A and B are shown apart, each in its own frame.
Chain A
Amino acid sequence: EAAVTQSPRSKVAVTGGKVTLSCHQTNNHDYMYWYRQDTGHGLRLIHYSYVADSTEKGDIPDGYKASRPSQENFSLILELASLSQTAVYFCASSGTANSDYTFGSGTRLLVI
């Protein structure tokens, strides 16, 4: 069954440390996205990609980097984690733009 799989499911990171969140999709989708969800802010787009080896900035890219080494894999990197980056992170994929959006199960990140 086609799916979007995120790892880890949850993580505790220390301030200033490096964090890598991974996402793998078997939907054969070209588009992949990273969103964060916070109470009071809803879902906000961090980075996205429409082709391997290329990433684009979303609406809140500061403090985050992204990597798309293949069509199936999309990573979100926090080089220097900060308290304000505590949130739930969702990866998603879609076919042609805006179609068949599928979200992963999320990664709950706590920065202490």
Chain B
Amino acid sequence: QQKVQQSPESLIVPEGGMASLNCTSSDRNVDYFWWYRQHSGKSPKMLMSIFSNGEKEEGRFTVHLNKASLHTSLHIRDSQPSDSALYLCAASSPITGNTGKLIFGLGTTLQVQP
């Protein structure tokens, strides 16, 4: 079973709409989450990271974290066709020590329709 689970598997939103992506870890030791965006045929690029309860906003992107439930969500407002990509959630745990290991989910494929 994936230790980092993402939903939905795929999502279609209209241009200008709001996209909401979810990620949950089943590993109680996880303490840090990242969100990556990967355009087709390209490498993953980090969007945002979060380790404190609450919300973090950068431009059109907002990330929420609930540490009690180990649930994070990424919200993209005013979605653009260029936002169409695979969105990956990753988590790390202090139990792995200073290894830099990230556990990735399978991703959510976002399609923004003009």
- Interface of A toward B, CB cutoff 8 Å: 31, 33, 40-45, 48, 50, 56, 58-59, 90, 94, 96-98, 101, 103-106
Contact = CB atoms under 8 A, between A and B. Distances in A.
B2 to A, nearest CB: 8
Interface in B7-55: 32, 34, 42-46
A44 B104 contact: yes
B72 interface: no
B98 A50 contact: yes
Contacts, number: 52
B106 interface: yes
Query: Chain B: interface residue count, which band?
Result: 20 to 34
A70 to B, nearest CB: 18
Nearest to A45: B101
Given A42-B106, A45-B101, A48-B101, 7 more contacts: A31-B100, A40-B106, A42-B2, A44-B104, A97-B97, A97-B99, A98-B32
Contacts of A40: 106
Contact of B105 (A42, A45, A96, A98): A42
Which of B43, B88, B90 has most A Cβ within 10 Å? B43
A103 B107 CA distance: 17
A43 B32 contact: no
B39 to A, nearest CB: 12
Given A42-B88, A90-B44, A106-B43, A101 B98 contact: no
A97 B98 contact: yes
